[in-house]
Structures are given as C-alpha cells and as structure tokens.
Structure 1
C-alpha cells in the first residue's frame, strides 16, 4: 500500500479503478503548467481503505486523492470534515492536505455536475435521477440548490432513495427500473449502469418532455447507449467527460495550489474521448 516516490503526487482510488481517466486529465494540466508532480491510480479495496489513508497521511509527497466507487461514503470515516460534507451531501470525492497537513475531505462532484448545465433555468422543473449512491447524492445536492421542482428517483432500493429525497428536502417519488418514466425535463444517470463491464441501463425515453436534457455521468464509453438513444430522439445530451473534467479542475487546485489551465481544453477532451 505504500507508495515510493520522490516528487509530489496525487492519485485516484477505487475498486475498480483501472478505467479512470483522472490521471490523463491531471497529468495534462501538470505538463501545461510545468508542475513537478505526478498523478496515478491506486486500486484500494474496501478492507484496505483505513490502511491506505494511514499510509498516505505519513507520506509527505502525497498531496491528496480523488475518490471513486465504492468509497465515496466510507472515506468520510477516515478524514477530517470541516465543511460538514457528511451532513450536507453525505459523500466525498476528494481528499487533500488541509490545515497543518490534516487529511481533509470535500466534494467537487456537485459543482462538477452542475457546471455544464448551470446556464439553464431548472427552477420548478422535473428531473429523473437514476441511482442512489455517492454520485446521486452530489447530483441531488446540486439540483436542490438549483431550485429543481420535483425529482423522481429510479433505484433498486426504494427506501434508500426516499431517504435521500427527504435528506435534501426534495419533492418527488421513487420508482423501479421497469416503470414508465414521467414527462421530465432532465434525466441524469448517476449509477454505474451502462459503464463498460457493467449491466446495461435500459430505459424508454419517449415519455420525457420535448427538448429534455439527458445527462450520463458514465464516461467509459463516452457515448453510452443512453446518450445514443437520447440523440436519436433529438434530445440534448451531456456526457460524463464534461462532469469529470469540471470536478477534476476543482480538485487539481486543492492538490497542487494552482488553477487548472483553461488553454488546451479542446485538445484535452479530444484526448479523453480517443
């Protein structure tokens, strides 16, 4: 679990984690800014999580990590939470060196999710959110802040999903995957369904409002079956790379003390989508 390095570095942890494009993003920005540092992947299983954070806390070269499935909730037990993310969102996706180098958790997923759709008015609109894990928590937090009117959760655990709606003070309900979708203005896939190696996400999009937006947080593949289906119906789409890059930019500044460069973003997206 110990890392051997002679330069500042950050990483992404998960189980699985080999699919992550985060190293490509952060290394691209490091090179642009001439930062002497690295960014890598670390495969960490749930039973290794405590040892991982203990080891990294003792490593002066470690600047922090992004946190992906399945650790976004469990990681809260191993880091400081001065921003009370546990109470507000209930999941973290970024750990960095805070005051006096204390390992500190935060969530850049919510801001990253919101960034590509922030110019649209969602006040009073109806959204469908698929999933009830850590990513869904960030999405619901952002939608609540954005004034969404109603949320229908599509989830395997109705009780868990209802609890999330209550936690974020959202009106709405829960349905299973084979129920007909409501005439919503926004559909967000915040589950791993449709990701390479995972089960397919099978939804009939016909009931969605004309001009609805379909947003898939999955980024491998970039063009998921859900997004292809939405495009075939002339619905607006946002892919998972948009959120991935946006949330990474917030984390990058926490790790390396410099804002992510805006120059070269087209080249970055082209590289990520290759």
Structure 2
C-alpha cells in the first residue's frame, strides 16, 4: 500500500460538501490509505493552488465543484473523456505515468446516468433539463447517453444557456427552449427531468407545478441536483403528483465512485458494497439493484 497519498475537493463555499464523507467511506472499505480534505477556493486562487500541489508529493486527485468546473480547465495539462466535449471538469487526476500531467475528467455525466439507471430508467424519451449552466452540460450528455433524440430546456436566460444548447445540437439532439416561468406544463410531460439549478432557485417552478391539475400529465423521474435543503419545493411538488424523485446526493455518490476509480485504479469501487457504505455515509437509503 502506498503511503502519503492525498486528494481533496475544491470549491466555494465548501463547508457543506459531502465529498469528504463519500470518499473516506469508500477508501476505508477498499483499504486505500488516502487522506481526503477540502479547500475553499475561488477562481482567482486556482493558479497559485495548482502550482503548489504540482510540487507537493502524494497527490492523486482533486474533486472540483462550483464555481471552479470551467475555471480550472486552463490550469490542467489536458482533458479526457466527457471533459473534452463539455469544456468543464469535476475531477483532476495526477498522472505520473510519464512525468507529471494533470488530467481533467468529468464524472458528472456518469453520476447522472447511473442515478437514473439504478432507479430503473434505461431510456429518456422526452427529457427536460432545467437550467443551462455547467451541470446542465452534464445533464445534456447524460440524456444523450440514455438514448434521447431531443431535449427541452427550461431556462432563465437563453443567452447564458448557450453552451448547453450548443452541446445538445452537437450531439444531434433536437432542441426546444422555454422560459422557466410558465414552463411547468412542459415539465409535467417529461419522462425524465433534471433540475440543475442551485438551492431554492426552482421554488417558483415547484409552486407552478403543484398548481397543475392531474389531467396535465404525470411526471415520472426527476433528479434534483440541489440537495440542501431537502426536499426542495420542486421535489415536493413532483412527489405530490406521484412522480419519483432522485435525491441530488445520488448523483454525487455515483460521480464520486468514478472519481475513486480514477484516483485509485480500483475497478471494484463500483461494487454494491462500496456504493452501500457511501450511501450510508451521507444518510441515503441503499438503492443498489
């Protein structure tokens, strides 16, 4: 066992992050001696931070959350996988196979796909993505992986959602764009919905959804990435209409699983036992299938 290995989550604010609990639970079960911490950083601090960790021994990986997913891209040596097409990362691996290279990955896509699959969703037919930021990029790639041929965006500003809309078009998805205000009827018709908005930002949409009659359609599965406070107003409205809600922490669990595989090379991090202890560490019911 290699000693002295380190990993951490970066973001601002960072005190609420559940990543340390998830990673530490997995490493304990796997018998991996990795110290996992957290750093509260804003984009202007990234240059100094990355320069420092390049020179420190033992680093194997970084988890990256808001507002750093795009800001960190210029500071890595190359991108891999979904990070290339999304232009945003949530993971940095310290690759020492030939010198040192910092490699950016995006495991948010896998986190969304696996959360839906563990809930029994194998295909997205009429998906709706609420929001247009960095998490929406991952949501678009995820619904594409789930076989969608189209996607409807509910956004506050189409201009600010340009990158997500552009990605959908590059992936060959037919795109529809609608304002969030007044968008509850479209949301109600979705078989798969992903809200990528920050906490409380979808409260008005939730209130609008609650006001629809049952004849307006029944939602199926919603993943709400905002998990604090919980349930969100949107999640409560969705459940009230008989829909299935996936806690945002489920996405966090499955994206962390893929980070752990990248940090350790351990494919068995994807096993039921590891996922179960990670769910336990953040108070989620065990949802393995």
Hey, what does 2:287 align to over in structure 1? none
Greater per-residue helix proportion: 2
Does 1:112 find its partner at 2:92?
no
Is the Cα contact below 8 Å between 1:222 and 1:273 reproduced in 2?
A: no
Q: Normalized against structure 1, the TM-score is what?
A: 0.87
- Distance in structure 2 (CA, Å) of the matches to 1:211 and 1:157: 24
Does 1:156 find its partner at 2:156?
yes
User: Which range moves more in the overlay, 87-96 or 205-214?
Assistant: 205-214
Compute the displacement of 1:272 (Å): 0.6
Q: Which runs of 5+ in 2 are unaligned?
A: 285-289
Compute the displacement of 1:146 (Å): 2.3
Is the Cα contact below 8 Å between 1:222 and 1:241 reproduced in 2?
A: no
- Distance in structure 2 (CA, Å) of the matches to 1:233 and 1:54: 50
* SS of residue in 2 equivalent to 1:220: coil
Provide the aligned C-alpha RMSD in A: 2.2
* SS of residue in 2 equivalent to 1:192: coil
Is the Cα contact below 8 Å between 1:185 and 1:209 reproduced in 2?
A: no
Compute the displacement of 1:35 (Å): 1.9
Does 1:134 find its partner at 2:134?
yes
Hey, what does 1:61 align to over in structure 2? 58
Aligned length: 264
Does 1:77 find its partner at 2:74?
yes
Query: After the TM superposition, which residues 108-257 of structure 1 pair with which residues of structure 2 at under 5 Å, given as runs?
Result: 108-118=107-117, 119-123=120-124, 125-169=125-169, 170-181=173-184, 182=186, 183-194=189-200, 199=201, 201-203=203-205, 204-205=208-209, 206=212, 209-257=217-265
